[in-house]
Chains A and B, each alone.
Chain A
Amino acid sequence: MILHTALSEQDPHPREVVENFKTRTRFKDVAWAIKGRPDGNYLLVYLANPTERLFRALNETLESISENNPYRERTALLRRPVSPRERLLLPETQHLRTVLSESLTVTSHSFREDFFVRYIPSLFGAEEQIIADGNHIVYGRRGSGKSSLLAYLLNTLRPQNTPHAWVDMQTYAGRKDSQVIIDVLLEIVQQLSAYNPGHAEIESIKTQLNSLAKAKRDSNSQIDRVLPRTRKAIFPLTQKHERVVIFLDDLHVIDQNLQPAILAKLYSICRGNRVFLKISGIEQFTKNWDPSSRLGLETPHDAQVIRLDSNLTMPDKSKSHIQNILDAHANYCGLPEVNYICGNGVLSRLAWVAAGVPRDALYIFTQAIVRATVKNQKKVSITSVNEAASEMAEEKLRDIQKDISGRYDEARTLLEEVRQFCITAKRTNAFLVEIRNDNPKFNRIKELIALRLLHVLHESITPHQAGRRFMALMLDYGFYVEIRAAKSVELFQKEPRPFQAKELRKLPIFQLPKTKAEFV
């Protein structure tokens, strides 16, 4: 019996089955064979791990092909008979690359009917919180799963036909003008109008918002007049559907001063109206409440906070979370588990270099597959993960532009200072910094953490003197992986495991300048 992947055979009947199956599963190729039996031929399709989704695709295939195809009732989906050595070349692995690339950006449209097959719950049950009635702000670094959590709720609302609006704030990235408020309101009203088509008042509000959006003058007072009308117009929806949900994904990308204003306007529509806000953002760049103007959403009264990112403070848990996510995608692609295509220690290294950030892990892993394939490796290796992590560092630097575009140089300068301290001066990848929230430099360091350029190993330790608390940090792996090759940097740890306090106490201290008050 010969395994085929290319459809070069003359017989059109297996071709019809295989091509149809490939279209349904989006595999670029599948291995198949014709088994000759005394009672006639049988078509065998092979995958490393046939799952229910793939059996469904096969059944749908067989129901849809021509009735005279002899394989309509004589096709089997089987586990590969022998374990292949070149696992990176399998069609299943090629498909995994595609699927991982797709999952790097989660939007309201991601995964659709397969969402729950591929979704892995967060580490601390954030799903139970986000589905509850009430306003929520989901905080986490880029790639920590904020949008996925919002999408989780979205996908639970869809089957119930619960009215919702999803606003991707990236559309308004860097904007400072109050016209953004009108644009966002208009997006929301347009999306909600689909649940009450032709409603005269909603149509009238849309028209008014449209004309305000075109006007160049400051229209704050006019917006305020639209809000009560919008609130009243949405009210019947909540009567009919129990609740309405408004998603604002990546609020932090608009100007910080504008954020509390936009939240205040939306809250005036939602409050007591069974309309709930579900917001995501990077905590250090999000200003949900402005105490001076008393505008925005005040936590925890007006909104509850859900934090997703534990950095590297629980490395073993972060590793198993990343492994679960990769396993779900591997299963989806017909692989038994992600370890099937990984060499020893790859997943530990991956979790470590991705600093527990799921999307970074997916990106690095996808790139590592490519690199390992190019080198004709049989499985993904630690070397290919290291190389991909180095490349990822460049991506992270580009993210600075997206998240704090106005302070790019400032962030780069401090990063370079920390890098010099670690690599040149101390020759280690981890260090301590004193927790001084009144110190501007400490706050800049917190921004580097938010940008995934530094990672928290421990939130607060007291290594030397009582009353002086320090944070233990690690420089992102991507900034010294090449130097590591020269063996000049001592790695704090090579893979995720819980740390001991004595290990952290020995780390060098990155000194902060004294503030004016301290000099006095």
Chain B
Amino acid sequence: MLENLRHILDTKACNVIQHEIDKNVKALFGLGEEHFRFAKQTQKKLWRQRISRLYYGAYNVRRAVELHTEGIYRTDASDHKNMHNIPDTFPNQDKYKSRLVNLRDDRNLADYDHDAGEPDLILTQDTAETLVADFIKDARDFLENRGVNV
């Protein structure tokens, strides 16, 4: 979006917009971290809650990255289908493209499927927690390298 505006706005105006975008990037990133912290302090026997919060941790951090890189901010439910949208220059891009989709499927199972048990998960709780922790760390490095201190 911002790239298109650069054709009609001057640098100063674009910087103001980028600054405003990055304020929201930080807030979204913070929201993701909050979900992650909540998941970590939740007891393991509450596997549905933990998987759900871990997913939302990753989901919001991914949105923060997308908002910064693409200027895209979505609020509709179909956004959950975009978990594989990771920038090309993002560290371990292919691992996250694959595993975050697996985590989304586990979250759907945890939140909506009354028949499901913990053994039905694709990623164990520990694997999911490590995945999201790594993703948040890589996202922080990625954004900070691009001048956004989250």
Residues of A within 8 A of B (CB): 35, 37-39, 42, 44, 50, 52, 55-56, 58-59, 73-74, 76-79
| Contact yes or no, A76 B122, CB < 8 A | yes
- Known interface pairs A55-B97, A55-B98, A77-B98. Does A38 touch B92 (Cβ–Cβ under 8 Å)? no
| Contact yes or no, B105 A39, CB < 8 A | yes
A159 to chain B, nearest CB (A): 16
Closest to B117 in A: A38
Query: What residues on A are CB-neighbors of B98 within 8 Å?
Result: 55, 58-59, 76-77
A403 to chain B, nearest CB (A): 44
**Additional pairs, 17, CB under 8 Å, beyond known A38-B113, A76-B99:** A35-B120, A35-B122, A37-B120, A38-B116, A39-B109, A39-B116, A42-B122, A44-B122, A55-B92, A55-B97, A58-B94, A59-B84, A59-B94, A59-B98, A74-B105, A78-B122, A78-B123
A448 to chain B, nearest CB (A): 48
Among B66-110, those with CB < 8 Å from A are: 84, 92-95, 97-99, 101-102, 105, 108-109
Jot down 23 A-B pairs with beta carbons below 8 A, ordered by A: A37-B109, A37-B120, A38-B109, A38-B113, A38-B115, A38-B120, A44-B122, A52-B92, A52-B93, A55-B92, A55-B95, A55-B97, A55-B99, A58-B94, A59-B84, A59-B97, A59-B98, A73-B101, A74-B105, A76-B102, A76-B123, A77-B98, A79-B127
Q: Count chain B residues whose beta carbon lies closer than 8 angstroms to a beta carbon of A.
A: 20
A32 to chain B, nearest CB (A): 13
* In-complex Cβ contact of A52 among B94, B115, B120, B127 (8 A): B94
B135 to chain A, nearest CB (A): 13
Q: State the CA gap A461–B109 with chains docked (Å).
A: 71
Closest to A51 in B: B95
B99 to chain A, nearest CB (A): 8
| Contact yes or no, A39 B108, CB < 8 A | yes
3 closest A-B pairs by beta carbon, nearest first, are A55-B94, A56-B94, A38-B115
Query: What residues on B are CB-neighbors of A52 within 8 Å?
Result: 92-95
Q: Residue among B84, B102, B108, B109 with the most chain A CB within 10 A?
A: B102
Query: What residues on A are CB-neighbors of B115 within 8 Å?
Result: 38
Q: State the CA gap A74–B102 with chains docked (Å).
A: 7
Closest to A55 in B: B94
Query: What residues on A are CB-neighbors of B120 within 8 Å?
Result: 35, 37-38
Query: What residues on A are CB-neighbors of B93 within 8 Å?
Result: 52
Query: What residues on A are CB-neighbors of B109 within 8 Å?
Result: 37-39
B29 to chain A, nearest CB (A): 23
Q: Residue among A35, A37, A73 with the most chain B CB within 10 A?
A: A37
